[in-house]
Amino acid sequence: MSKRLKELHEEITQTLNGVVESPRREAELMLMAYLGKDQLYFITHQDEMIDENSPELLEWIEKRSCNVPLEYLTNRVSFYSREFYIDEGALIPRPETEHLIDEVLACTAADEAITVVEVGVGSGIISIMLALHLPNARFIAVDISPRALAVARRNIELFGLSDRIELREGDLLSCVSEKIDLLVSNPPYIAQDAPLESNLSYEPQNALFGGEIGDEIIRRLMDEVYVRHIPLFVCEMGYDQRIKVQEYLKPFSVQSLEFYKDLASFDRGFVLKAIHE
C-alpha cells in the first residue's frame, strides 16, 4: 500500500518515538536515504506516494528500533558538511572530530607541500577533508583494520583523492618510514571497562577502546613524535585525558601544547609542537 510522504514521515516518527533522541529528524533522514534524495526534495514532495511496505524500509525501521545506528542502515554519514559512505567496518564519524580539522588548518599554510600521516584513518573523513583543504600535501593514512581501510578506500575514490592519500595497513607508524611533517589522529581512547551506551556496541570495538586506561595509544603516539622527530601532532582525546597528556609530556621538550574544546566545552584534543634537539 502507498502513503503520502508526510504521512509515512509521521508514522515512522511515532515508531521511533521514545527509542531515539530525535525521532522526527531520523525519520526524515531515513526517508531521504530511502528515496536517494536531499532535504529540498523531501520538503517539496510531501504529497508523493511511497510504498509503505518496502522490505528495505521496513527492515530499517525495525533495526533502528533496536538501536542499530541509522548511518549503518543507510550507509550515509555527514561530516564537515560533506556526505561519506559508511558501514560497520568503520567508526561513525562524530561532529566533535570537525574541531580536529579546524585545529590542523589553523596551524598549517594551505599551500604547504608537507607529508601528513594519519593514524587510525577509519572511514577516511579526516585525511579526505584535510586533503581537500591542503592541495599540496601528501597523505599516508594508516589503520590496523582491513575493514576500516575498505571503507576509507571507497570514500577516497568517491572524492577522487586516490593519488593523494595512500592507505596502509599496520600498527601505528610501523608501516611508515618516510619523514613526517604532521601527525594527526583520532585514536581509540575509551577505557576498556567504561560503561557504554547500547548503540556503541554496533561500532568496531578496536575503534573505541584505547586499552585498560584508555590513553595507551595516545601515549604511544606521543612517544612516536619524539622518536621520529615529528614537529607537529594534532590529536583528539577523551574529555578527561588532559592532565594525563600534560603529565606524560613533562620529560619531553615542548614548544607549545594547546588543548582545544568541543561544542559542549569539554576538552577534546590537543596540538603539540615538539622541540627536537
Neighbour tally for 4: CB within 10 Å: 15
Cβ-based nearer residue to ligand SAM, 27 or 129? 129
| Binding pattern for the stretch 65-104 against ligand SAM, x by CB under 6 A and - elsewhere | -------------------------xx-x---x-------
- In the block, residue with C-alpha cell 566533535: 96
Residue 187 near ligand SAM by CB under 6 A: yes
Distance separating alpha carbons of residues 75 and 95, to the nearest angstrom: 17
Residue showing cell 572524492: 159
- Per DSSP, 99 falls in state H
Strand partners, 51: 2
Q: Is residue 126 at the binding interface for ligand SAM, with CB under 6 A as the rule?
A: yes
Nearer to ligand SAM, 65 or 206 (CB): 206
- Pair 191, 210: CB distance under 8 Å: yes
Part of the chain binding ligand SAM (CB under 6 A), chosen from 2-10, 123-131, 175-183, 260-268: 123-131
Should residue 125 be labelled a site residue for ligand SAM when binding is judged by CB under 6 A? yes
Cell of 47: 504529497
Report the alpha-carbon distance of residue 229 to residue 209 in Å, rounded. Answer: 27
Query: Taking phi first (over 0 means left), then psi (-120 to 50 degrees means alpha), and beta for anything else, what does residue 98 get?
Result: alpha
**CA of 229: how far to CAs of 125, 173, 257, in Å?**
26, 13, 16
Instruction: Select from 30, 121, 232, 234 the one that contacts ligand SAM (CB under 6 A).
Output: 121
Range in contact with ligand SAM (rule: CB under 6 A) among 33-41, 52-60, 122-130, 242-250: 122-130
Site string for ligand SAM, 134-173 (x = CB under 6 A): --------xxxx--x----------------------xx-
Q: Pairing mode, if any, of strands 115-119 and 138-143?
A: parallel
Query: Binding segment for ligand SAM among 25-33, 103-111, 184-192, 257-265 (CB under 6 A)?
Result: 184-192
- Does 269 participate in binding ligand SAM (rule CB under 6 A)? no
Locus of grid cell 589522529 = 185
Does the footprint of ligand SAM cover residue 214 (CB under 6 A)? no
Q: Which stretch binds ligand SAM (CB under 6 A): 42-50, 64-72, 121-129, 261-269?
A: 121-129
Q: What is the rounded distance in angstroms from the CA atom of residue 102 to the CA atom of residue 53?
A: 44
By beta-carbon proximity to ligand SAM, the closer residue of 28 and 98 is 98
Per-residue exposure over 85-120, b if at least 16 CB sit within 10 Å of its own CB, e if not: bbbbbbbbbeebbbbbbebbeeebeeeeebebbbbb
Count of C-beta atoms within a 10 Å radius of residue 245 = 21
Nearer to ligand SAM, 56 or 83 (CB): 83
* Least distance CB 231 / ligand SAM (angstroms): 21
Residue ranges that bind ligand SAM, judged by CB under 6 A? 90-91, 93, 97, 119-123, 125-126, 142-145, 148, 171-172, 186-188, 206-207, 217
